[in-house]
A and B are shown apart, each in its own frame.
Chain A
Amino acid sequence: MVKVKVNNVEVEVPQESYIIDAVEKAGFKVPLLCYLQGLFNEATCRICVVKANGRVVPACRYPVQEGMNITTSDDELEKMRKINFELLLATHNIHCWDCYRKSTCTLSSLSKELGVEGIPVCSECPLYGDECLVNQGIPCLGPLTVSGCDAECTRQGALCIGCRGFVSSRDVWRNAIKFYRENGIRREDLESIITIFWIVLPIKLREIIDEVYKH
């Protein structure tokens, strides 16, 4: 057995354990993505980084040592996790409106936890499939705007007016506008909803709307 300190809480774990085991035993949480206990342990996503004796290491793959001092969270770690998470989102083809994962999506729950504004409201919306407002021709702003509200409006059957603002990724904008068009939503209807943001509407979004609706 090895004694380690996690955020100043002392725990004892078996010799061969990784930091994550000690962290969990001490009752703390570290965000995990690529790690699947017993199946995948290659430490590739680097979201679970912690500080072991001041050194930044992945909790899922770094073995514990006697007397190791583990910090699971500080400003620097939070910042790194957030940056790495944003990098991950940048390569993710976000299509929450027709993705079945919804509440089981770790990416979406983690984005809330880390405060990254990258995932649209659709990830939380319960109106999946035929009930989706956009599928019924209603210009709901869910696909374009930031999640985190638990989709309060669409839960009540009302359309999302996007009070939390647009998601940051232009790829998501393009995908979303295409989604509107495929569902026969007219440009005027979409624009009449977006008018709320008209003053702060990014030029790039206007360009994307022009581009998608042109042909």
Chain B
Amino acid sequence: MILNSVVYEIVYGRKDLRVHVPISSCTLAAGSQEVYNAVEDYISRTGINGEVHRVGCTGLCFLDPWIMIAGKGLPVAIYVNVKHVDVEKIIAKYLNHDFSGAYALRFKEGNVDYGIPLLDEKPEWKNQVRWVSRNCGLVDPESIDEYIMTGGYEGLKRALKMKREEVIEIVKKSGLRGRGGAGFPTWLKWKITYEQRSDEKYVICNGDEGDPGAFMNRLLAESDPHRVIEGLIIAGYAVGATKGFVFVRAEKPLMADRLEKAVNEARKKGFLGENILGTGFSFDIEVYRSAGAFVCGEETALIAAIEGRARPRQRPPYPATSGLWGKPTVVNNVETLAHVATIFQLGVEEFTKYGTEKSKGTKMFCVTGAVKRTGVYEVPIGTTIKKLVYELAGGPVEGKKIKAVQVGGPSGGCIPSNLFDLELDYETLQAYGAIMGSGGLVVIDDSGCMVNVAKYFTDFTLAESCGKCLPCRVGMKIMNETLERIVNGEGREEDIELLRDLGVTVIKTSLCGLGGSAPNPVLSTLRYFENEYREHVENKKCPAKVCPKLVTYVINEEKCRGCGVCARYCPVNAITGEAGEPFRINDSKCIKCGSCLINCPFGAIEKI
């Protein structure tokens, strides 16, 4: 664990007041840069002996933008959903010992009861095991000193004192499995690469995260980039590599910038370059900005992208024997490498405390969609879906019921709510038609149509298919067209069987992992929600009333007061009537845009 004194030093700083403002892509989108400027402005204007501290993101996205204020002798308070105009008021109130309005307290001073819960008591924080994300939202991601204060690069020093076999042995003992989705044992990858005879070997950090609804790699690399770099150096040492690459999408500029800065600072401190820390091991890292494509998450496509053209190839040979430029190559996910660094910093025993028999440790999960608290939560592998969705993410929005959760993004499958007692681990999810994937969970409530959800994901994989092999290129197109037909109410009886046959063929015969998992959303929704498909095909009805072509808008004559608001909002003049009398919708003109439904003051418009 991080020494408490270190945390105190980082949290309180050396001045009277320290205000922590998160600067990462997600908080920037919520307006944290303005907040940062406002705090800076306030401090310089009032002349307080204070400073503003840039930190990464905690992963609690529903709180963005938040600030954490730490004054000498005062509790550390967290204020959430802050607007930049309110910053002055908040800080002034805080300095007056009035903590009302704070979301939670990070630390208390002494045993005083302030009437505000500690963050450690909040369900979204208390149920987490912050293992790999321990520094996220705490340290300045652009400062190597703060990382070193929290025990950073200690793991590297420890590893460099060992023999290469010993390093691999420790990773084997930890039971760490790839966090990118497939769950391949990390040590085995390393060992095979280590045993290859070659003048050059490479290690690559796969930061090409592309699933809709998954952003834990970006969050980790933006909030604690040095942890990833340290893990990559350890991996490089273990396999005897000469060079490492960090593969980042250019469309995530902050992530790439921070990793680049981390590499440069690590080089200055002697953790990279010739003769690292006097051990004779030479290694350097290049941050590679790719144009970004979903298929680059596949390791052979990623390697091909660095070589020039992003297209997967048939395996074997596996990259461990013939990878980048034909040399043995290890490709590890961002989170896997961060786990490696943490394991070497804190010891294997700490790591193996968590997790299940077959998969040890923790995993970061992104919970998005129809929940109260969207965000990234790090929990031990083997946590139930119920706990993650209901306790950590707060369950459904008021008045709704959760229907299913899509695990693993567009390559994963959906798990219906009656199976929420399942544990999140590699084998269980696979058995139920989903995959761990990168760990994105998209929660769907009863206002979502499962056929539409499946179509959404095939739209995505269809657009991202590289087009090299036939089943993925054409098969996904046909599946997408079939789904399109079904949601438009033109589905035929045989379409359901067609989707099943085609899906299985695409999965089994595709060249790479993209095609090998792309039909999963369709197959899993067919498995658990076939009745919804049947309803679309046989009765031409959408049970969730989502698919526009299968929905009819009508005016409830009892509720309608004849105000005519709907007619004014209707873009195609489909609504007519006399003032004071119930209005009518002409279904042949109606384009199902829904603007009457939103604007009716009496709730008289209904979907059937």
Asked if B474 and A46 sit within 8 Å, CB to CB, the answer is no
Asked if A80 and B474 sit within 8 Å, CB to CB, the answer is no
Separation of A80 and B507 alpha carbons in the complex (Å): 10
- Interface positions of B (Cβ within 8 A of A): 313-314, 316-317, 468-471, 474-475, 478, 501-502, 504-505, 508-511
Across the interface, which residues of A come within 8 angstroms of B471, CB to CB? Answer: 46, 84, 87
For this complex, 7 residue pairs linking A to B, each with C-beta atoms less than 8 Å apart, are A42-B468, A44-B468, A49-B509, A83-B475, A83-B502, A87-B471, A87-B478
Asked if A43 and B511 sit within 8 Å, CB to CB, the answer is yes
Interface string of A71-100 (1 = CB under 8 A from B): 000000001100110011011000000000
Interface string of A33-45 (1 = CB under 8 A from B): 0000000001111
Separation of A1 and B160 alpha carbons in the complex (Å): 41
Asked if B511 and A91 sit within 8 Å, CB to CB, the answer is no
| Interface secondary structure of B, over-half rule | helix
Of A62, A63, A87, which is within 8 A of B470 by CB? Answer: A87
Asked if A42 and B509 sit within 8 Å, CB to CB, the answer is no
Asked if A80 and B314 sit within 8 Å, CB to CB, the answer is no
Separation of A46 and B468 alpha carbons in the complex (Å): 11
- Interface positions of A (Cβ within 8 A of B): 42-47, 49, 56, 58, 61-63, 79-80, 83-84, 87-88, 90-91
| Interface secondary structure of A, over-half rule | mixed
Separation of A6 and B469 alpha carbons in the complex (Å): 25
Across the interface, which residues of B come within 8 angstroms of A47, CB to CB? Answer: 470
Of A45, A62, A88, which is within 8 A of B314 by CB? Answer: A62
Separation of A131 and B314 alpha carbons in the complex (Å): 46
Asked if A43 and B314 sit within 8 Å, CB to CB, the answer is yes
Separation of A88 and B509 alpha carbons in the complex (Å): 14
CB distance from A36 to the nearest CB of B (A): 15
Asked if B501 and A83 sit within 8 Å, CB to CB, the answer is yes
CB distance from A117 to the nearest CB of B (A): 16
Across the interface, which residues of A come within 8 angstroms of B501, CB to CB? Answer: 79, 83
Across the interface, which residues of B come within 8 angstroms of A43, CB to CB? Answer: 314, 469, 511
Asked if B478 and A46 sit within 8 Å, CB to CB, the answer is no
Residue of A nearest to B507 (CB): A56
Asked if A44 and B470 sit within 8 Å, CB to CB, the answer is yes
Residue of A nearest to B468 (CB): A44
Separation of A16 and B317 alpha carbons in the complex (Å): 11
Across the interface, which residues of B come within 8 angstroms of A88, CB to CB? Answer: 470, 474
Across the interface, which residues of B come within 8 angstroms of A87, CB to CB? Answer: 470-471, 474-475, 478
Across the interface, which residues of A come within 8 angstroms of B509, CB to CB? Answer: 46, 49, 56, 58, 80, 84
CB distance from A171 to the nearest CB of B (A): 14
